[in-house]
Amino acid sequence: MTTVRRVLITGFQPFGGEEQNPSWLLASRFAGLQTIHDVTVEVVVAELPTVFGVSSQHLRAAISEHRPEVVLCLGQAGGRNGLTPERVAINIDDARIADNDGQQPVDVPVVSGGPAAYFSSLPIKRMVRDMRAAGIPAEVSQTAGTFVCNHVFYALMHMAATEFPFIWRCGFMHVPYLPMQVLGRSSPSMSLQLMKKGVEVSLRAVLSPIPDEQLVGGQEQ
């Protein structure tokens, strides 16, 4: 009998004047049953508002409702040219621009009294290795920024550590712009089809019980 695992994948609403957010377009394509390595996976999805505080509340509600064993949050990182699993979430909100509710916190902790940072529990280096082997641009990212993406990433890791022991693995991955978002400007982009393949490859790595491998994934700067 195959094992059924429940996976929650989230994406964000558009922000910063964009009409679309590839993270949600991507996440929404995974809803339903998926078969990965002979494992039947029930994927549930949630669209998070690009708003400090409210986004993490929506995430908590989705986790409470669905009780997933794996949570993969996706977000848009305009300017990046590949899929980038994040290594670390930091306990700070420091917004260069306002969120979708007009909030612009500066040097505010995501969780008052929480640890300075959490490392992802996803096998991020194996995810990158496998995506590259499949012909998909990917690299480990050392920072999720200090906007709502990092806010959700930190909140997720804190919830997994303090509230939801049923979560086995969780973390965050950024995705590039879509081609339609970079018309008339010079910026990297990636097709939704290639992004979807990258997430599929990543999920195979995540659902494997093998621990992450010690592969080079650092940066000099």
Active site residue 149: yes
What distances in angstroms separate CA 16 from CA 39, 99, 179, one per listed residue?
A: 38, 8, 17
Residue 58: active-site member:
no
Q: Is 174 an annotated catalytic residue?
A: yes
- C-beta atoms surrounding 32 within 10 Å: 10
Of 69, 151, 158, 174, catalytic: 174
Domains, the chain, ordered by start? 4-207 (3.40.630.20)
Catalytic residue, from 86, 151, 158, 170: name it: 86
Query: Rounded CA gap, 122 and 104, in Å?
Result: 30
**How many whole angstroms separate alpha carbon 76 and alpha carbon 27?**
12
C-alpha distances in Å from residue 148, one per residue of 28, 70, 77, 84, 185: 19, 21, 11, 16, 24
- The one-digit pLDDT tens for each residue of the chain (221 residues) are 346 689 999 999 999 989 999 999 999 999 999 888 778 899 999 999 999 999 999 999 999 999 999 999 999 999 999 999 999 999 999 999 999 999 999 999 999 999 999 999 999 999 999 999 999 999 999 999 999 999 999 999 999 999 999 999 999 999 999 999 999 888 999 999 999 999 999 999 999 988 888 888 888 65
Determine which one of 149, 151, 158, 170 is catalytic: 149
In degrees, rounded to 5, the angle at the alpha carbon of residue 76 between the alpha carbons of residues 127 and 199 is: 30
